[in-house]
């Protein structure tokens, strides 16, 4: 655990063989780190041998509340990394990564940042190999070698029991434990079967454990445990688990469906008993240590070692299971392994070539799992030889239609589709023996009518099929044997004449499990009553289309009901047996007496306006009310006055854990005397809001019952004056809330104190005399309170009484957040005459100082406190010498206008103690703040340590851990400590500072001063980011008045000379924005960077609105300036009005630069004198005098700038003629030569260029030396994927006819807009390159999109393979006549009939509507192109609707295959 606290450690490796306990160790690390509060958040993920990075990303995103809009894993990783980086600014995060099999870049693949730049992030990973830990850069690494003898014996004894100590068994038990080699997995595997077994079984165990090494021991132990599975079907259920991917959470319902189809549970007569049997078997396997608990309700996990064992067992003997990926699939085909197997589980990353007939006469179960709904085309006869197939499961696959041989699966009992995109599935109706049919998370729009033929169907699932619109009524009515129906995502009941109605459910007399969502209670027939349901999730009303998984985990009987009428008989029946009830909006419910069920676990009541009392026992004897209820929420009920009226017995609400009361304006009391009427001793969460008649929350008697209360939130109660009504006699503390961890009080305008006073007259007198009543008196203690949040409480003027003893009252407080407390002036009055109780903390110079210390407080946030001045009354700074925060990590101060200083009197240890662990300091909108640290003494005392500078000793105030400083909108801040105009001088140091952000610090003239002193240099060593915005008076970042610049960190040799430098060794990002008076970084000469400063790791430089800047770099022939450029990745310069040159250099030396450039400059941008060997992005916006981007390309420097260019954006450059201008007669090969038809031709190649975006280039004639043709055969972009062009008025064609396919082989997206002279889009040679998206808008001269007339017939046929095209949009092309040019009619028919056009005999017609099918791809949009529309409409016999083609019917006629124009 000590290593986790080491700031220099980022990733820790744990390795050892499978089953040795690595995962258990990770869980223990998580538990202990949580108890010690070493981290703010924990993330535990499993990688596995075939990692699913998107699943890992989603799990982390769910924990931090991040919703992805990105589609690709790479984009998700970047988004997740950004969010985690933001979190690391104020939190420490621990990532526990289990089961790493090979080297993985966790930052790029997943999005988990780590390393020296992310000190708040720690990773602990486990692997079976030390080499993997080394490859991952783990330091340190630890080997897990198993338990020692005592630990192993303790584990075995803990499972088997005290019987191991008996004389006849102890020696055998010792031998068994010794055979297990200290491996927890092996010990658990043998111990569980031996529980309550005779001595002979123990002796058998000894005889079977013969392994010579640990791996064989584990295998033998697992075999022993497997052999001793005695329950029927337990072994089969265990083996089914190995069919799921490694480390996947296994849903018990999925297991049940596979098992039922595979022939398990044959002794059960109903589906409900079979489900129960599945639950029993899973519990049995968990108790045998063969399955593991999962965090998700209703699911389990299988250890990877146990899964390997299960696969080996399932692959031998009579089972013959084959489990693997598409690589194993190839071996299976080669070895003819299919002929004897009974079950196959295949994970498909790359769609394999399935055999035309899959000869598997013994196959009973087939499980296919794809990825990202990839298309899967199965041969039509693939199922022809699978006569015995009983179970077929497909996951994450896209299928346009099912193979014809599907109808040959006469033995099929279970058919499951998960996360599949399905179109034509009507052939399922031929599977007459099917019993289970599941569509879970599938993209399916309608259920085929043919399913009504499945009269043997017992289970139909349509869970989370969000696009489902049609379920034919005949389907529901004819499935008379249905026992389970799951269709909560379907809401179109009785919509249209063919859709099912709720009344159809009456035909299902065998139904025992039902999940439905009915949008309106009127759809529920009066005589519909379910008397046999044992499992149900029924929602009635339009408010319940979302599922609360946490809510649903409480019971398998859930009813959500929204109705304005009296409950129907069917509803009353369900209300009496439900475990979770959610009722909303009914006026017929007067109280809950009738539904006082002992089975009820969760009750939510909303908007039942006729209810005055939730429970009314005045007309009956005292009752035991809701004895097992765990959650009670009552919300938005205008007339509710009391939760109960009358007498309740003590057992009432005995299990209540959570109580939420919201929007109850007439509620008078939260609870009445619970000691007499009910017990709330198990209540953990209490939320009260918008209860405007409440004057208090608890009575003192009630509070004594709340011994388990952990969270309390009270908000928006207008009349609330106290939390507790009543005050006990005496002066001692009382732990009224011994377990309270979180206290939130918000928007309570009349709240004065936490506990009321017995002597109201005395209170009034005190207020009249000016003596403030503190919010907490000295009688209340919160021994475990960690989070305290107060907001918008006008009555609070002082927080604590001066008598309070912090070590007893708030010893665990970690977070203090106070906002919008308009009358708060201070926390306590230390000048009171009352007897003050404080801890005594040793101080410097052997003196003693009275000190109040918050030992655990890590986060302080003070916001919108208009009259607040200091912690204690009369103080001149927020913190003085009488208070200390040794654990403080983050301090945020915002809108505290009377604050003048944060720390004062820094010569004593108390204030220094508060600085030791401070990581983040954020101060904003504090109008009168002058200094962060104010010291009035003549001598500045060393707060933490002394730093030696040269031969002198300087006394400094050190913030040793501070990493981030954010100062924003501080109009009067002049310095950090005791200087004017300069933020940091030699008296303060920040050795860990990484980010410095200054926004709107208007009186600041310099950031650093007197850089020849050592302290200031210490603050620069780790600085990573410098962001200065809207600092009007800033002249220099560093101001040095001395004649000689002193070397701060090191000396850099340049041309044989030694020059003193100010070095920022770690600085990577500089952003200067709106600094009108900034003239330089270090010397006032109009040049930002000269030879006196160096940034060896600078990667990103942004300059916006730095109006006095003339040059960015100067004197480039010196070594220091070069150092600034070596790692530069991004350079953005905008609105710098006086900028003449980026680099001002009088010599002819070529300078190397690298990175992304965004420069609105003048003249020729890049000539042979500069080079950018790492340039990835080039953006030019509004460079109005630019004629060429590159010139003289036969020189080496310019070509170097193209090597790594990925993105090229040129916009609004009116005078640009060519991107590359070459005046020489000979075109020189820039990066290489491409062989074209046997010849070698010099071309300009951008090998990495992926994206080109040109817009508003009205004078552009070509990319390179052409006239009207954008790209000719002299340029090649083999990696180009996206081409976006807009308003290029002098371009007539995009590619010349001579361009080679190899030069543009990766183009996927083409967008062309507003090119007035353009005639055609895609030339003949590029028709085969796999274009996916084409958009053409407002190009008035375009007559055809694709040109074939220059190709021979055989070339034309080869060109028409449009299987990649997904989207074609044509808009505003008045001259467009043809998709292809006129010569297309000679092309062979077979290229036009891939899908959907088999009945179209006319070739010309096929030419016109080819793009309507395009292999049934996604979209076709053709607008404002009347010529082509006229032809299409005529061919579809709707000539009379030519003028109204925008109407729905015309569009459907025009696109009969589902594509809308």
**Under 8 Å between Cβ of 649 and 628:** no
Burial of 762 by CB count in 10 Å (0-12 exposed, 13-18 middle, 19+ buried)? Answer: exposed
Q: How confident is the model at residue 970 (pLDDT cuts 50, 70, 90)?
A: very high
**pLDDT score at 1146:** 52
**pLDDT score at 883:** 81
Q: Where are the alpha helices (DSSP H) in 569-725?
A: 569-575, 674-677, 700-703
Lowest mean pLDDT among 320-324, 669-673, 1435-1439: 1435-1439
User: Shortest CA distance to 686 belongs to which of 638, 632, 624?
Assistant: 632
Chain centroid, CA 1302 distance in Å: 39
User: Shortest CA distance to 444 belongs to which of 397, 382, 481?
Assistant: 397
- pLDDT for residue 522 is more than 80: yes
Q: How much is the CA Rg of the chain, to the nearest whole Å?
A: 38
Q: How confident is the model at residue 334 (pLDDT cuts 50, 70, 90)?
A: low
DSSP state of 66: -
Helix or strand (DSSP H, E) at 1370: strand 1367-1371
Buried b (16+ CB within 10 A) or exposed e, 791-810: bbbbbbbbbbbbbbbbeebb
pTM: 0.76
Cα-Cα-Cα-Cα torsion 859, 864, 869, 873, nearest 10 degrees, comes to -80
**From CA 407, how far away is CA 392, in angstroms rounded?**
13
**pLDDT score at 805:** 65
Per 3-state DSSP, the chain is made up of helix, strand and coil in percentages (nearest 5) of: 20, 25, 50
- pLDDT for residue 733 is more than 60: no
Number of Cβ atoms within 10 Å of the Cβ of 694: 22
**pLDDT score at 1055:** 35
- pLDDT for residue 89 is more than 60: yes
**From CA 1003, how far away is CA 1034, in angstroms rounded?**
8
**From CA 912, how far away is CA 930, in angstroms rounded?**
20
- pLDDT for residue 545 is more than 60: no
Cα-Cα-Cα-Cα torsion 526, 531, 535, 541, nearest 10 degrees, comes to 10
Show the CA angle centred on residue 1161, arms to residues 1157 and 1162, nearest 5°: 140
For residues 250-262, give the mean pLDDT. 90
**pLDDT score at 313:** 87
Strand order in the sheet with 1188-1191: 1188-1191, 1218-1221, 1262-1264
Which tokens is 853 given?
Answer: 């210390």
pLDDT over 90 for what percent of the chain?
21
Q: How confident is the model at residue 799 (pLDDT cuts 50, 70, 90)?
A: confident
For residues 508-537, give the mean pLDDT. 90
**From CA 509, how far away is CA 504, in angstroms rounded?**
11
For residues 1191-1204, give the mean pLDDT. 62
- pLDDT for residue 223 is more than 50: yes
**pLDDT score at 66:** 86
Q: Reduced to 3 states, what is the DSSP secondary structure of residue 721?
A: coil
> pLDDT digits over 1394-1426, tens only?
333 333 334 443 344 444 333 333 344 444 444
**pLDDT score at 563:** 81
Mean of per-residue pLDDT scores for the chain: 78
**Under 8 Å between Cβ of 1257 and 1287:** yes
Kindly write down the DSSP assignment for every residue of 290-358, as one continuous string.
SSEE-SSTTEEE--HHHHHHHHHHHTSTTT-EEEEEHHHHHHHHHHTGGGT-SEEEEE-SS-----SS-
């Amino acid at each position: 655990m000590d290593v986790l606290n080491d700031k220099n450690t980022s990733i820790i490796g744990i390795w050892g063989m499978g089953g040795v306990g690595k995962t258990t160790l990770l869980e223990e690390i998580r538990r202990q780190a949580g108890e010690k509060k070493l981290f703010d958040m924990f993330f535990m993920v499993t990688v596995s041998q075939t990692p699913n990075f998107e699943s890992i990303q989603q799990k982390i995103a769910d924990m931090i509340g991040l919703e992805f809009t990105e589609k690709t894993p790479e984009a998700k990783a970047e988004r997740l990394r950004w969010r985690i980086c933001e979190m690391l600014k104020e939190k420490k995060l621990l990532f526990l990564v289990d089961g790493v099999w090979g080297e993985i870049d966790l930052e790029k693949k997943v999005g988990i940042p780590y390393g020296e730049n992310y000190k708040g992030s720690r990773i602990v990973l486990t692997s079976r190999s030390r080499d993997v830990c080394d490859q991952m850069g783990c330091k340190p690494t630890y080997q897990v070698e198993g338990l020692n003898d005592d630990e192993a014996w303790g584990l075995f004894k803990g499972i088997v029991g005290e019987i191991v100590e008996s004389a006849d068994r102890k020696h055998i038990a010792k031998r068994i434990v010794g055979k297990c080699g200290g491996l927890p997995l092996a010990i658990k595997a043998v111990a569980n079967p031996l529980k309550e077994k005779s001595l002979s079984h123990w002796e058998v165990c000894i005889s079977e454990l013969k392994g010579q090494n640990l791996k064989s021991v584990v295998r033998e132990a697992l075999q022993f445990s497997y052999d001793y599975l005695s329950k029927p079907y337990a072994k089969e259920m265990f083996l089914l688990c190995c069919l799921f991917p490694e480390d996947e959470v296994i849903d018990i319902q999925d297991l049940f469906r596979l098992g039922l189809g595979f022939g398990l549970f044959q002794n059960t007569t109903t589906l409900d008993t079979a489900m129960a049997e599945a639950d029993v078997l899973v519990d049995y396997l968990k108790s045998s240590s063969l399955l593991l608990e999962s965090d998700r309700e209703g699911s389990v996990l299988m250890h990877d070692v146990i899964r390997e064992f299960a696969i080996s067992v399932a692959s031998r003997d009579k089972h013959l299971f084959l489990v693997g990926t598409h690589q194993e699939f190839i071996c299976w085909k080669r070895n003819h392994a299919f002929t004897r197997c009974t079950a196959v589980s295949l994970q498909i990353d790359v769609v394999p070539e399935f055999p035309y007939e899959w000869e598997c006469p013994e196959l009973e179960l087939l499980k296919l799992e794809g990825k990202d709904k990839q298309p899967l085309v199965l041969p039509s006869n693939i199922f022809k030889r699978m006569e015995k197939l009983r179970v077929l499961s497909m996951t994450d696959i896209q299928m346009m239609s099912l193979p014809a041989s599907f109808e040959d699966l006469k033995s099929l009992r279970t058919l499951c589709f998960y996360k599949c995109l399905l179109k034509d599935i009507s052939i399922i109706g031929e599977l007459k023996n099917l019993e289970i049919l599941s569509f879970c998370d599938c993209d399916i729009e309608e259920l085929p009518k043919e399913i009504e033929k499945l009269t043997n169907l017992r289970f139909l699932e349509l869970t989370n099929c969000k696009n489902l619109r049609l379920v034919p009524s005949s389907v529901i009515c004819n499935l008379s044997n249905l026992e389970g129906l799951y269709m909560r995502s379907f809401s179109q009941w009785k919509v249209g004449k063919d859709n099912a109605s709720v009344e159809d459910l009456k035909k299902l007399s065998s139904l025992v499990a039902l999940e439905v969502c009915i949008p309106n209670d009127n759809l529920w027939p009066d005589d519909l009553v379910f008397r046999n349901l044992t499992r149900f999730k029924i929602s009635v009303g339009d408010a319940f289309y979302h599922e609360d998984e946490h809510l649903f985990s409480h019971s398998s009987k859930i009813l959500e009901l929204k109705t304005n009428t009296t409950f129907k008989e069917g509803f009353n029946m369900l209300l009496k047996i439900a475990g979770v009830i959610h009722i909303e909006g009914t006026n017929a419910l007067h109280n809950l007496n009738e539904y006082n069920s002992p089975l009820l676990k969760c009750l939510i009541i909303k908007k039942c306006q006729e209810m005055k009392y939730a429970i009314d026992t005045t007309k009956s004897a005292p009752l035991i009310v809701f004895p097992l209820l765990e959650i009670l929420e009552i919300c938005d009920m205008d007339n509710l006055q009391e939760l109960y009226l009358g007498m309740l017995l003590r057992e009432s609400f005995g299990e209540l854990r959570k109580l939420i009361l919201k929007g109850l304006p007439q509620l008078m009391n939260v609870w009445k005397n619970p000691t007499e009427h009910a017990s709330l001793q198990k209540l953990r969460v209490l939320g009260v809001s918008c209860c405007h008649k409440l004057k208090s929350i608890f009575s003192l008697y009630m509070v004594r019952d709340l011994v388990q209360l952990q969270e309390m939130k009270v908000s928006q109660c207008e009349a609330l004056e106290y939390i507790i009504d009543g005050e006990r006699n005496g002066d001692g503390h009382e732990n009224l809330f011994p377990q309270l961890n979180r206290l939130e009080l918000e928007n309570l305008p009349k709240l004065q104190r936490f506990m009321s006073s017995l002597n109201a007259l005395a209170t009034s007198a005190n207020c009249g005399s000016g003596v403030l009543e503190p919010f907490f008196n000295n009688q209340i203690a919160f021994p475990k309170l960690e989070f305290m949040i107060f907001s918008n409480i006008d009555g609070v003027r002082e927080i604590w009484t001066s008598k309070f003893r912090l070590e007893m009252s708030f010893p665990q407080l970690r977070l203090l957040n106070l906002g919008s407390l308009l009358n708060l002036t201070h926390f306590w009055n230390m000048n009171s005459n009352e007897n003050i109780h404080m801890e005594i903390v040793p101080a410097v110079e052997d003196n003693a100082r009275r000190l109040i210390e918050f030992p655990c407080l890590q986060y302080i946030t003070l916001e919108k406190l208009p009259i607040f001045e200091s912690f204690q009354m009369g103080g001149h700074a927020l913190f003085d010498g009488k208070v200390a925060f040794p654990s403080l990590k983050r301090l945020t101060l915002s809108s505290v206008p009377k604050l003048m200083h944060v720390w004062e009197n820094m010569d004593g240890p108390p204030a220094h103690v508060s600085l030791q662990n401070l990581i983040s300091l954020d101060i904003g909108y504090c109008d009168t703040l002058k200094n962060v640290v104010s010291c009035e003494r003549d001598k500045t005392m060393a707060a933490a340590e002394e730093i030696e500078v040269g031969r002198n000793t300087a006394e400094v105030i050190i913030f040793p851990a501070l990493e981030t400083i954010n100062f924003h909108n501080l109009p009067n801040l002049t310095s950090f400590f005791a200087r004017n105009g300069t933020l940091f001088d030699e008296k303060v140091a920040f050795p860990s500072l990484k980010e410095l952000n200054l926004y709107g610090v208007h009186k600041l003239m310099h950031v650093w001063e007197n850089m020849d002193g050592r302290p200031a240099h210490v603050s620069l060593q780790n600085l990573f980011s410098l962001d200065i915005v809207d600092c009007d008076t800033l002249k220099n970042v560093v101001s040095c008045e001395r004649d000689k610049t002193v070397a701060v960190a090191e000396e850099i040799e340049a041309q044989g000379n030694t020059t003193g430098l100010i070095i920022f060794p770690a600085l990577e990002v500089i952003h200067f924005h709106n600094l009108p008076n900034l003239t330089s970084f270090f010397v006032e000469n109009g040049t930002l960077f000269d030879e006196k400063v160096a940034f060896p790791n600078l990667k990103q430089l942004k300059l916006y609105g730095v109006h006095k800047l003339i040059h960015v770099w100067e004197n480039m022939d010196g070594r220091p300036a070069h150092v600034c450029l070596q790692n530069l990745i991004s350079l953005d310069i905008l609105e710098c009005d006086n900028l003449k040159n980026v680099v001002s250099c009088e010599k002819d030396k070529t300078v190397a630069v690298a990175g992304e450039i965004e420069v609105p400059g003048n003249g020729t941008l890049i000539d042979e004198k500069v080079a950018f060997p790492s340039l990835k992005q080039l953006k030019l916006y509004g460079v109005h005098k630019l004629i060429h981007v590159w010139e003289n390309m036969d020189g080496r420097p310019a070509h170097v700038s193209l090597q790594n260019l990925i993105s090229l954006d040129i916009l609004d450059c009116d005078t640009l003629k060519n991107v590359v201008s070459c005046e020489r007669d000979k075109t020189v090969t820039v990066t290489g030569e491409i062989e074209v038809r046997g010849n070698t031709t010099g071309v300009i190649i951008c090998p990495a260029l992926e994206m080109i975006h040109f817009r508003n280039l009205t004078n552009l004639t070509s990319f390179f030396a052409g006239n009207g043709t954008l790209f000719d055969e002299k340029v090649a972009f083999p990696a180009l994927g996206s081409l976006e062009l807009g308003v290029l008025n002098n371009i007539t064609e995009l590619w010349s006819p001579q361009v080679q396919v190899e030069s543009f082989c990766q183009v996927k997206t083409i967008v062309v807009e507003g090119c007035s002279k353009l005639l055609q889009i895609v030339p003949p040679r590029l028709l085969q390159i796999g274009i996916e998206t084409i958009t053409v808008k407002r190009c008035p001269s375009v007559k055809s999109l694709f040109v074939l007339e220059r190709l021979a017939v055989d070339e034309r046929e080869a060109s028409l393979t449009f299987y990649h095209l997904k989207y074609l949009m044509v808009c505003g092309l008045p001259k467009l006549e043809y998709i292809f040019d006129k010569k297309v009619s000679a092309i062979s028919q077979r290229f036009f009939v891939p899908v959907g056009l088999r009945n179209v005999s006319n070739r010309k017609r096929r030419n016109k509507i080819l793009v309507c099918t395009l292999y049934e791809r996604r979209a076709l949009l053709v607008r404002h192109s009347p010529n082509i529309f006229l032809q299409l409409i005529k061919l579809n016999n709707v000539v009379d609707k030519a003028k109204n083609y925008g109407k729905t019917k015309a569009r459907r006629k025009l696109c009969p295959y589902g594509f809308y124009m």
